[in-house]
Structure formats: C-alpha cells, structure tokens
C-alpha cells in the first residue's frame, strides 16, 4: 500500500464550480476499466440526514461514532421515519463506494449539507508529459473535492470546498502541469494524500 501526495489547486464556496474544475482535470485522465467515484458526507442535522438517505437508498448510512450500538439499518429506519431519536445519533455518515463516474455527482452535490465530506475519483492514469520526461502513471492518480473542509481527511472544517490532485510522491511537476492545463494553479503546499 502506498500513500499519494496531494496538491490543492482550487478553493471555492461554490461546489458546482469545484466540480467543473474536477471535470476539466478528468478530461486529461486516461480511464481504466474500473474508473469510479466514491463519496462520503457527514449529516449534522436530522434534515440533512433525511435528504442524504432519501437520495441514496443503497448507500451505507451509519453513526459517525463506530461505538454506537445502533446498526446502519436501524439508523436508516429512524431517519426515514423522522424519529426524534436521530438527533442523539448525529452526526450521521453517508458512504457511497465505487460507483460509475457520472452516476452520483450531481445528486450528491444537491444533498450535501453543512458537514464535512469528500468526493473522490480514481482508477485512471495521469497522461504522459514528454516535455517533463514523465510517462503515463496510474499509481496514486486521483482527484478529490474536500467538501466543507480544507484537507483530504475531512478534519479541518471550512465554509468552502477544496479541489486536490492526487499523485505519486515525486510527481509534483506532473500535478502542477495538470493544474496548468485546465487553468488552475497550486494554492497551498504538497501534503500527504490517501
């Protein structure tokens, strides 16, 4: 297992603006057979939990605290029934793993609440960059929007969203090149990724 590096290239209060930047970056990617998107979000209110659970009936919905005794199914039932006990379970997490690219993005952006979250695209290769002496690379390639937070692990809450390019350690020039190709630029230092 390895850990990617990340380069933040956009910070914006507009989630759709962040997604448009991601779409431009993904237009440079070379998809693999398993090209996918995953998302997770934290619902801070019962209303947010209801919107998320209704929008994604097949997603895993569970307590953010893994030591809670309630099962995911119990929590989903309480949310659907608008049971007042949901308030004691908050925050509640929504997890969507490995979906086809383009299948969840717009709905996810429409129901994402005020809590931290992320949406990640992977299983593709970054293109070769002959002028930099870089071959195509799929190891650690990814793009991520940190929703309502400033870091890839969703630990630094923020009123805005950050787009990160994931890349193999040592490939900073590639990440900067990718950003430049779509009108973006680094806005912070390289950090550890996944």
Residues 22-33: pLDDT tens digits?
Answer: 999 999 999 898
Q: Cα(first)–Cα(last) distance of the chain, in Å?
A: 10
For residue 133, give the 3-state DSSP assignment. Answer: coil
Residues pairing with 144 in the sheet:
120, 164
Query: Which residues have C-beta within 8 Å of that of residue 43, sequence separation ≥ 6?
Result: 49, 51, 52, 90, 91, 92, 93, 94, 113, 115
For residue 21, give the 3-state DSSP assignment. Answer: helix
Q: What are phi and psi of 129, to 5 degrees?
A: -130, 85
Q: pTM of this prediction?
A: 0.94
Domain with 164 in it: 5-192
CA–CA distance from 106 to each of 39, 80, 136 (Å)?
A: 12, 22, 29
What's the DSSP call for residue 14? Answer: -
CA–CA distance from 127 to each of 14, 96, 102, 160 (Å)?
A: 28, 27, 21, 29
pLDDT in tens, the chain (194 residues): 457 899 999 999 999 999 999 999 999 999 898 899 999 999 999 999 999 999 999 999 988 777 878 888 899 999 999 999 999 999 999 999 999 999 999 999 999 999 999 999 999 999 999 999 999 999 999 999 999 999 999 999 999 999 999 999 989 999 999 999 999 999 999 999 87
- Domains: count for the chain: 1
């Amino acid at each position: 297992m390895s850990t990617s590096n990340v380069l933040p290239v956009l910070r914006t209060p507009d989630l759709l603006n962040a997604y448009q930047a991601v779409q431009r970056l993904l237009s440079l990617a070379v998809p693999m057979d398993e090209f996918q998107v995953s998302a997770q979000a934290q619902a801070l209110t019962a209303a947010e939990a209801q919107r998320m659970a209704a929008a994604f009936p097949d997603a895993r919905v569970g307590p953010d605290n893994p030591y809670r005794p309630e099962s995911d199914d119990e929590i989903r039932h309480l949310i659907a029934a608008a049971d007042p006990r949901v308030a004691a379970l908050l925050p509640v997490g929504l997890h969507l793993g490995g979906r086809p690219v383009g299948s969840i993005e717009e709905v996810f952006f429409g129901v994402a609440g005020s809590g931290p979250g992320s949406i990640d695209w992977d299983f593709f290769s970054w293109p070769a960059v002959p002028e930099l002496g870089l071959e195509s690379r799929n190891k650690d390639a990814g793009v991520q929007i940190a929703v309502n937070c400033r870091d890839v692990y969703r630990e630094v809450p923020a009123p805005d969203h950050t787009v990160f390019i994931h890349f193999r350690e040592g490939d900073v020039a590639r990440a900067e090149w990718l950003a430049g190709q779509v009108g973006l630029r680094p806005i912070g230092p390289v950090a550890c990724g996944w």
